């Protein structure tokens, strides 16, 4: 399904926020230019009161963010059925403009953290019209069933009205650049919905659309999904259990939750087609069972199912609180999915995560609870976003290429990567409280741009005929008025202490640093 926003001349408006393919990745285009969202997510209820937000906005601006992620709830948008109130949303947008900040809106509709706590009272109190998810003992749980057509239609109607209003009030200024549809959907405390509506579908044949997708993409399916199907010897006709065995409950829920989210997203995109996505509460730890995390939510294992059944979503995102941050990022980059991090811990490790994710092509990085950072972490993130904001032109130039990477290195450990014409050997210092981190770009003519902290990096020639590598020159770069400019020209202590083959750069100042350096090799 494809949507377009046409201007008065009948042409597609190139300025509407959208995603664009760029090499082997995607780029976020806002007002005609590629960018990266340096963001933070507010606590769930912060944006429900603009009076409460008055003291928050200046703190957000001091963080050098360019985007704020904030919730918009169904209960405030449609307090009475058919009666819509956009006053809080309008104030949120107006205040964001005052502080020159973009917004990603979180639509807290039917589900938030897999529970139905944000629908209006008239929805939550009518269990007959809007039936609940049930466990295996037929007990109602605190979530509306994804098999409720009435709930889906009502949610989609409210969402469409909000997008219609956004098009009218923000369609030219583009303060709102993206929308999350629902929040961490899926079912908890049970592997699947056992509502009679769900049981009937579970006992029916797997939809032909899903089977067709699996057949066409068998050679490129992610291993977890392929393994779930492999147990039936890749059967193409039968019930969920017959095709997917022990994975049947989760895949069944993924398909049906995706179908629900698709109907809501599609209704909104018909009104105003800005980028939309769904996010996932991760399976943490990685060997946890469905129901311990929201079964049917868009975890990495089921991203292809969402891509098939929810084409109105531009990508699927991961809320990453797991310790294997790098691994989760790589899992979400498969099958053409764009990397977008709306939630991660708001502790010091957020800086290491930001540099790594953006180096790996992330469209957005955000820490959760950004409105309550302590002073030390506020300064750390502010300094980091100050650097990254000036790096955006370079980052977007190399997004989707094999010339840009991110890396994290645990304290005292080493890692090696090949990038450009050299092998880069990273060594983290011993006294780190978070991993050392870097964003690395191999530019033209053996020039490297590296940003990060907590490590040394040595360049090693990959040429047998010219095995000796040296740094020709190196500069520290600083952000002045939004642009990176050269400051110190580095040598001596900062570039290997005058050793025979001088190839080392140091990033050990306990603050993010950007260096650009030219490397050459000789006999």
Mean pLDDT, rounded, for 477-496: 90
- Report d(CA 199, CA 210) in Å as an integer: 19
Question: Which position has the higher pLDDT, 181 or 462?
Answer: 181
Residue 212 CA: distances (Å) to CA of 64, 215, 232, 235, 485: 47, 5, 16, 11, 53
pLDDT digits (tens, 9 = 90+) for 416-442: 999 999 999 999 998 888 999 999 999
Of 20-29, 38-47, 135-144, 230-239, the least confident? 20-29
Identify whether the C-beta of residue 395 lies closer than 8 Å to the C-beta of residue 34: no
Q: What are the pLDDT digits (tens) for 363-391?
A: 999 999 999 999 999 999 999 999 999 99
Answer whether CATH 3.40.605.10 is correct for domain 404-522: no
The per-residue pLDDT for 499 is: 57
Beta carbons within 10 angstroms of residue 186's beta carbon = 27
pLDDT (tens digit, 9 = 90+) per residue, 326-361?
999 999 999 999 999 999 999 999 999 999 999 999
Q: Tokens at residue 175, please?
A: 């303060």
Residues 278-335: pLDDT tens digits? 999 999 988 899 999 999 999 999 999 999 999 999 999 999 999 999 999 999 999 9
Based on the number of CB atoms within 10 Å of its own CB, is 239 exposed (0-12), middle (13-18) or buried (19 or more)?
middle
Q: Which H or E run contains 437?
A: strand 436-442
Phi and psi angles of residue 333, each rounded to the nearest 5 degrees, phi first: -90, 0
- Does 4 have pLDDT greater than 80? no
pLDDT tens digits for range 237-260: 999 999 999 999 999 999 999 999
Check whether 498 has a pLDDT greater than 90.
no
Residue 500's pLDDT band (cuts 50, 70, 90): low
d(CA 266, CA 243): 29
Is residue 1 predicted with pLDDT exceeding 60? no
Q: What is the 3-state secondary structure (H, E, C) of 309-336?
A: HCCCCCEEEEECCCCCHHHHHHHHCHHH
pLDDT band at 5 (very low <50, low <70, confident <90, very high): very low
pLDDT at 479 over 50: yes
Cα 265 to Cα 191: distance, rounded to the nearest angstrom: 25
Secondary structure percentages of the chain, helix, strand, coil, to 5: 35, 30, 35
Q: How many CB atoms lie within 10 A of CB 164?
A: 17
- Residue 376 has phi, psi (to 5 degrees) of -65, -45
Question: What DSSP state is assigned to residue 368?
Answer: E
Here the tokens at position 414 are 């080493």
**How high is the pLDDT of residue 102?**
98
* Phi, psi dihedral angles at 203 (to 5 degrees): -85, -5
Q: Which residues contact 508 (CB under 8 A, 6 or more apart)?
A: 429, 453, 454, 455, 456
Alpha-carbon dihedral of residues 198, 184, 258, 301, nearest 10 degrees?
-100
- How far CA 511 is from CA of 80, 385, 451, 454, 457, in Å, comes to 51, 12, 10, 8, 16
Q: What is the pTM of this model?
A: 0.95
Task: Annotate 109-158 with three-state secondary structure.
Answer: EEEECCECCCCCHHHHCCCCCCCEEECCCCCEEEEECCCCHHHHHHHHHH
Confidence label for 497 from pLDDT (cuts 50, 70 and 90): low
| Residue carrying structure tokens 């403009």 | 97
The per-residue pLDDT for range 193-206, each reduced to its tens digit, is 999 999 999 999 99
CA atoms within 13 A on the CB side of 212: 5
Instruction: Give tens-digit pLDDT for 174-192.
Output: 999 999 999 999 999 999 9
Confidence bin at 9 (pLDDT 50/70/90):
very low
Q: How far apart are CA 479 and CA 389, in angstroms?
A: 8
Q: What is the mean pLDDT of the chain?
A: 94
> Which residues make beta-bridge pairs with 108?
73
User: Contact at 8 Å (CB) between 439 and 406?
Assistant: yes
- Taking 60 as the threshold, does the pLDDT of residue 209 lie above it? yes
Can you read off the two tokens belonging to residue 291?
């129901």
Q: What average pLDDT does the segment 494-515 reach?
A: 80
CATH fold label, 37-341+359-364: TIM Barrel (3.20.20)
What percent of the chain shows pLDDT beyond 70?
Answer: 97
Alpha carbons 93 and 98: distance in angstroms, whole number: 9
What length does the chain have? 523
Do 293 and 253 contact (CB within 8 A), yes or no? no
Show me where the domains of the chain are located. Answer: 37-341+359-364, 404-522
């Amino acid at each position: 399904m494809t949507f377009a926003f046409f201007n008065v001349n009948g042409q597609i408006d190139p300025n509407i926020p959208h995603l664009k393919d760029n090499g082997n990745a995607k780029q976020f285009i806002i007002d005609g230019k590629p960018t990266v969202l340096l963001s933070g997510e507010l606590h769930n209820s912060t944006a429900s009161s603009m009076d409460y937000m008055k003291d928050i906005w200046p703190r957000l601006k001091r963080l050098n963010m360019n985007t704020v992620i904030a919730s918009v709830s169904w209960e405030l948008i449609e307090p009475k059925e058919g009666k819509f109130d956009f006053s809080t949303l309008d104030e949120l947008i107006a205040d964001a403009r005052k502080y020159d900040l973009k917004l990603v809106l979180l639509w807290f509709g039917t589900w938030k953290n897999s529970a139905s706590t944000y629908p209006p009272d008239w929805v939550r109190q009518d269990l007959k019209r809007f039936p609940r998810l049930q466990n295996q003992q037929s007990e109602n749980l605190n979530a509306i069933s994804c098999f409720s057509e009435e709930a889906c239609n009502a949610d989609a109607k409210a969402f469409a009205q909000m997008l219609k209003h956004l098009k009218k009030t923000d369609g030219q200024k583009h303060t709102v650049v993206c929308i999350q549809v629902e929040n961490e959907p899926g079912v908890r405390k049970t592997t699947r919905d056992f509502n009679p509506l769900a049981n009937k579908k579970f006992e029916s044949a797997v939809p032909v659309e899903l089977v067709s997708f699996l057949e066409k993409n068998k050679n490129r399916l992610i291993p977890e999904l392929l393994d779930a199907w492999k147990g039936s010897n890749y059967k193409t006709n039968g019930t969920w259990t017959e095709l997917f065995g022990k994975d049947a409950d989760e895949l069944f829920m993924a398909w049906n939750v995706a179908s629900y989210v698709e109907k809501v997203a599609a209704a909104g995109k018909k009104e105003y087609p800005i980028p939309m996505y769904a996010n996932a509460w991760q399976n943490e730890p990685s060997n946890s069972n469905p129901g311990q995390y929201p079964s049917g939510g868009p975890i990495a294992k089921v991203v292809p199912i969402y891509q098939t059944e929810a084409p109105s979503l531009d990508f699927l995102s991961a809320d990453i609180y797991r310790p294997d941050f790098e691994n989760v990022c790589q899992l979400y980059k498969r099958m053409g999915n764009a990397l977008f991090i709306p939630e991660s811990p708001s502790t010091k490790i957020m800086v290491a995560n930001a540099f790594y994710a953006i180096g790996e092509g992330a469209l957005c990085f955000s820490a959760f609870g950004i409105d309550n950072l302590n002073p030390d972490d506020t300064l750390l993130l502010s300094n980091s976003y100050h650097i990254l904001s000036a790096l955006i032109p370079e980052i977007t130039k190399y997004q989707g290429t094999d010339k840009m990477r991110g890396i994290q290195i645990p304290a005292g450990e080493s890692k090696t990567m090949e990038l450009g014409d050299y092998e880069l050997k990273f060594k983290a210092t011993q006294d780190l409280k978070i991993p050392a981190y870097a964003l690395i770009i191999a530019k033209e003519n053996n020039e490297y741009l590296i940003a990060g902290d907590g490590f040394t990096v040595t360049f090693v020639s990959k040429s047998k005929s010219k095995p000796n590598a040296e740094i020709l020159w190196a500069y520290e770069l600083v952000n002045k008025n939004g642009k990176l400019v050269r400051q110190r020209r580095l040598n001596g202590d900062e570039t290997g202490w005058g050793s025979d083959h001088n190839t080392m750069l140091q990033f050990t100042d306990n603050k993010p640093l950007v260096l650009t350096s030219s490397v050459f090799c000789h006999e």
